[in-house]
Amino acid sequence: MKKTQDAKAVVQRFHAELDAPDADQEQVLRKYAGSNFVWRGFHPFNEMTSPRQVATEFWSPLRHSLTALQRRQDIFFSGTNQMDNFATVWVVSMGHLMGLFDNAFCGIPATGKIAMLRYCEFHRVDGDKIVETAMYFDLPHLMAQAGVMPFPEQTAAQLVQPGPLTHDGVLIDAQPAKDGKDTLALINRMIGDLGQWDSGLSLEDELRQTWAEDMLWWGPTGIGATYTIQRYAKQHSGPFRAAFSDRSKTKHIARLAEGAYGGFFGWPNFTARLTGDFMGRPATGKAGEFRVIDIYRRDRDKLAENWIFIDLLHFWKSQGLDVLKRLQGGDDK
């Protein structure tokens, strides 16, 4: 438990220095990045391996675009990683990066108004260094706030998404070990159900095995947010299963929990073939990668809330649609 608490303190210091108004992003990243540093971000940033590259290609442009940047954190926890037999320590931060959208970002036009970029980070901490980061963010969500709708339609609601109903997601203090074990066990049971797609139960009854009836599913722009098992099945899970086949087994780089909160990420989590219509676009027959972060809140023995980050720009690019190129005046293939 001391290791996880120490790791939280490292990330808290890192955030405080990185988010400071006069921060030199490269200097801060160099201070905290360990050797063989790896940073993974959604398209178009992808994988980077040097603090300078992360600073010059991501953080500096973002700070130039979203001026007076403020981190509005809703969830913060730490734990050891199930995927390497609990050998490494990771810290998770989720919320919004809010600022004044004063300059274009990735071709998304500025509005001069408040904008909120959904984000979730996983940091692997070794001693006082961050040696690996997954920084996932919902660029289509930023597009929608700028009045640019990146996809033809979505089945659920477009929202600036709140944190937990219980307002207790920022776990600065250590939590009882049993609570984290119970949360991780429940997530693992859910993953087992999800991986079947042929449980013999109705979709709704399959979900009821691990999800609360009044579940909240905070999905990415292009799919949207939905509420209750019935509407989740209708507005996301059902359409998703109908659109895809040949889903690979799930692979995660990190999966952990603390208290009532837990989550995972992969690079990618899985691949699947688009054999039906999805998000208003026709089947392509092509397989595509799904880079995903999922964050969960457990309520007793059921999952009550789920925040999801999917690199839809990367997925659709693999299907022949380059959303950012189209936004910048290129061809929409």
**pLDDT 10s digits, 167-181:** 999 999 999 999 999
User: Is there a domain that residue 162 lies in?
Assistant: no
Domain count, the chain: 2
Do residue 315 and residue 183 come from a single domain? yes
Those residues of the chain that have pLDDT short of 50 are none
User: Is there a domain that residue 233 lies in?
Assistant: yes
Do residue 227 and residue 295 come from a single domain? yes
Do residue 109 and residue 248 come from a single domain? no
pLDDT of residue 50: 96
The span from the CA of 63 to the CA of 26, in Å, is: 13
Task: Decide if 53 contacts 37 (C-beta within 8 A).
Answer: no
pLDDT in tens, 209-256: 999 999 999 999 999 999 999 999 999 999 999 999 999 999 999 999
pLDDT of residue 207: 95
Do residue 95 and residue 139 come from a single domain? yes
pLDDT of residue 330: 62
pLDDT of residue 154: 82
User: Is there a domain that residue 116 lies in?
Assistant: yes
Helix (H, G, I), strand (E, B) or coil at 3: helix
Q: Which stretch of DSSP H or E encloses residue 255?
A: strand 254-258
Do residue 135 and residue 272 come from a single domain? no
pLDDT of residue 188: 96
pLDDT of residue 203: 92
Do residue 200 and residue 135 come from a single domain? no
Classify residue 124 by its DSSP letter.
E
pLDDT of residue 197: 58
pLDDT of residue 329: 76
pLDDT of residue 153: 76
User: Is there a domain that residue 67 lies in?
Assistant: yes
The span from the CA of 75 to the CA of 162, in Å, is: 11
pLDDT mean across residues, the chain: 95
Angle, CA of 147, 151 and 153, to the nearest 5°: 100
Task: Decide if 259 contacts 250 (C-beta within 8 A).
Answer: no
pLDDT of residue 1: 82
Do residue 98 and residue 29 come from a single domain? yes
Do residue 14 and residue 134 come from a single domain? yes
Q: Say which residues have a Cβ less than 8 Å from residue 87's Cβ, sequence separation at least 6.
A: 80, 81
Distances from the Cα of 101 to the Cα of 96, 113, 121, 327, 332, angstroms: 14, 6, 22, 17, 26
Q: H helices of the chain, where?
A: 2-18, 25-32, 51-54, 60-65, 139-145, 177-194, 203-208, 229-232, 238-243, 312-318, 323-327
Do residue 140 and residue 186 come from a single domain? no
Do residue 315 and residue 184 come from a single domain? yes
User: Is there a domain that residue 278 lies in?
Assistant: yes
User: Is there a domain that residue 185 lies in?
Assistant: yes
Do residue 256 and residue 312 come from a single domain? yes
93 is written with which tokens?
């931060």
Do residue 131 and residue 184 come from a single domain? no
pTM, whole model, 2 decimals?
0.96
pLDDT of residue 284: 98
Q: Containing domain of residue 111, as a range?
A: 2-145
CATH number at residue 313: 3.10.450.50
pLDDT of residue 133: 98
User: Is there a domain that residue 150 lies in?
Assistant: no
User: Is there a domain that residue 157 lies in?
Assistant: no
pLDDT in tens, 107-136: 999 999 999 999 999 999 999 999 999 999
